[in-house]
Every structure is written in structure tokens, then in C-alpha cells.
Amino acid sequence: MKIIKILCILFAGCCLVVGAFAQHAHGNGKLQLKLQGQSLIGEMEMPMEALLGFEHLPKNKAQSEAMSRLQNATKDATYFIELPADAKCQQKEAKAESSMFQGVASKGHSDLDYSFYFICLNPQALTKISFPFFKSHIKSHQLKVEWVGDKGQKSFTVRSSKPYFSP
């Protein structure tokens, strides 16, 4: 009985450790997409490792340039998310935050926290949502999408091998 008890404690301990790291898993990001009327609001969290291949401050010219390119790309949310042309969506806001962009050395890990906001004149046409960034960021493997629409909430797993979903 005692051994079982110890095993249980060990197992629970492992789960806790796994749980703590589940927030930041290399290659894997998460996105919440909320459609309210004509407003499409997105909140994305992606490990910088998945986008740049490193999570420390740039150590050479190539890394500095890669980080600047990414920071520039975040101005246009369509770099990450592609919406059907028929939905007639226009970006109203995009905000990228990362300790790396601020030049703050992280304690091991760093994320990109990205929020964006579109107005879609024809939201019914949002039948397929694609993620073109997988092609150019090969260390990105998957994105867990939480979709919140008029008909409630749904979860999708988007992968580099199938970088889109249909709400």
C-alpha cells in the first residue's frame, strides 16, 4: 500500500510539472478567435522559438535581422491569419508584444503575445481560416484554436501539414 501511495505522489508530481510547462511548448501556439457581429478579435500566443528558432536576445546580425523582420511582419495580421476575400475584412488593430522586442533578456523562454482586430463586412463568408506563417516559420508545428462565434465555442488544432480550419 505504501508503495502505491508513493507512486501516486510521484505521478501527481509529474503531472504538475507537465502542467506548468504546458503553457509554453516549443513549436506550439494558441489562438483565441472571437467573432461578434462584424468584429473578429484574435489573441495569439506563440513561443518565439517557433517563430525565430531562438528565445534569447539576438547574438549576431542574422538573428537581429530575423527579429526585426518578424517585428515588422506583425504590423499586418494577414501575415499570420488569412481570411476569405469574400468576408471583406479590414484590419483595425494589431499589437505585438514580447520581452525580446523590448530588449529584455528572458529567463529561458519568451513568447510573442499578439492581438489583432478585424472588421468583416460579410462575416458569413468566414468559412475557412488559414495560417500562412507556418510555411515560412518551419519550427511552428501547431496552433490550438479556440473559436467563439454566434453558435458557441469550438476548438480546432491547426497543424503545419494542414494550416487551416473551418469554423
Q: Which of 30, 34, 88, 109 binds Zn ion (CB under 5 A)?
A: 109
Beta-sheet pairing, 142-149 with 28-36: parallel
CB 25 → Zn ion: shortest distance, Å?
A: 8
Q: Which positions from 10 to 49 touch Zn ion by CB under 5 A, shown as an x/- string?
A: -------------------------------------x-x
* Residue closer to Zn ion, measured from CB, 42 or 47: 47
DSSP 3-state of 154:
strand
* Residue 7: CB atoms within 10 Å: 10
Nearer residue to Zn ion within complex by CB, 77 or 112: 112
What is the rounded CA–CA span in Å between residue 159 and residue 50?
13
Q: Give the nearest distance from C-beta 109 to Zn ion in angstroms.
A: 3
Closest separation in Å from C-beta 45 to Zn ion = 12
| 75-104: contacts with Zn ion (CB under 5 A) | none
Between 20 and 85, CB nearer to Zn ion: 20
- Distance (Å) of CA 111 to CA 35, 73, 86, 122, 150: 24, 16, 32, 32, 30
Nearest residue to the partner Zn ion, using Cβ: 109
Q: How far is Cα 54 from Cα 60, in angstroms, rounded to an integer?
A: 12
Nearer to Zn ion, 45 or 49 (CB): 49
* Dist CA 100 CA 98 (whole Å): 5
Q: Which positions touch Zn ion (CB under 5 A)? A: 47, 49, 55, 109
